[in-house]
Amino acid sequence: MNEKSLRTACDPARAERAMADFVDAVRAVAKEDPDETSLVSETELKSLEIAEGYPVGKWIGGSPKNHVRWQRLLGLRNRSPVRSVYPTPDADGHLEYRHEGEKVLGLGAAHFMDGIAVSLLVAPEWQTSIVSLERSELVELDDDSLDFDHETVEVRHMSSLPHVEEHRSWIRESSLARAASGRQIWERKGDLYPQLQFLPRTEAQLTDLDPRWVVPVRRCLERLDAAAAVWDPAAAPEPEWQSKVTPEGETRKRVCRFVDLDGEEETFHLHAPLHPGGRPYPLPADRGRRQDPHRPRRQQDPPGPLTRQTTGSPTPSRFPSLSRNHAARSPRAPLLG
């Protein structure tokens, strides 16, 4: 829930219409995917201040219809505060979203969780199905220093039923395709990520995956699969990654060695962001000859396996390895493990 749309100065009649639209829109989404829909807010619903000087209790008592809408709203699963949806307690310390220069929590969480932001339609700026945000994340550079990475992102948004209609096909498709746990990612990997191949060691990692990491891992796998789907190994040494992928430093390379599907040990040394605060690893998988993992990476070396390592952790953990999956696999295809 977009907290920026609350406590706006407006007349009670407009606030009442906005709440009616809000409840109808949220319930319409929940009807499509009741098991996986949660309304995430910074404060509990009973503590909301709908508009300036107009608390939710006053709205509930305003009419019998409002009381019925409130009861329906309470039937939805509510989570608060917003930071409860992030995989690490300190995520908001190095990941920030802003809307027109103002820090926003609900809009940012909706983008991070690959969900839909919802606002009260009390201002024209919320009469839209897409909202642009400025995202800043504290990232570790190749030389182990820290710096902020800035980008503009878009988040799905709704404030009334017409916006739900715009997103309905996505809601239905995502509810069918979504894996709600690490175990489900493993069991459905062939259908969800047909261009990726997982090392056997990944099964235990995904089965034990903290539920708060499911969405970040799932989104990262989706990007890797999409990149592999359009990659032509004959035309480019590696896929055109949909997120930043860079080589690991020489010190960390020593803890990024894993047994490949052919029984040989490989160094999985490329890494990409796993937000917030993690890093998956792909490395050159050279099938024609064994590669010295400590020599400089050559431009023609294709990428290979991935594993997640929490920043500062001495050993890789909790992120799967995968590889480009070919019917007749190229001897130099990348592997993710």
Mean local confidence (pLDDT), 113-140: 91
User: Are residues 292 and 267 in contact, defined by beta-carbon separation less than 8 angstroms?
Assistant: no
Q: Taking 50 as the threshold, does the pLDDT of residue 31 lie above it? A: yes
Q: pLDDT tens digits for 193-227? A: 888 888 888 888 888 888 778 878 888 888 888 88
Q: Taking 80 as the threshold, does the pLDDT of residue 328 lie above it? A: no
Q: Which residues contact 244 (CB under 8 A, 6 or more apart)?
A: 149, 272, 273
Check residues 92 and 65 and name the one with the higher pLDDT. Answer: 65
Q: Band of the pLDDT at 299, cuts 50, 70, 90? A: very low
Q: Band of the pLDDT at 176, cuts 50, 70, 90? A: low
For 113, other C-beta atoms within 10 Å of its C-beta total 19
Q: Taking 70 as the threshold, does the pLDDT of residue 236 lie above it? A: yes
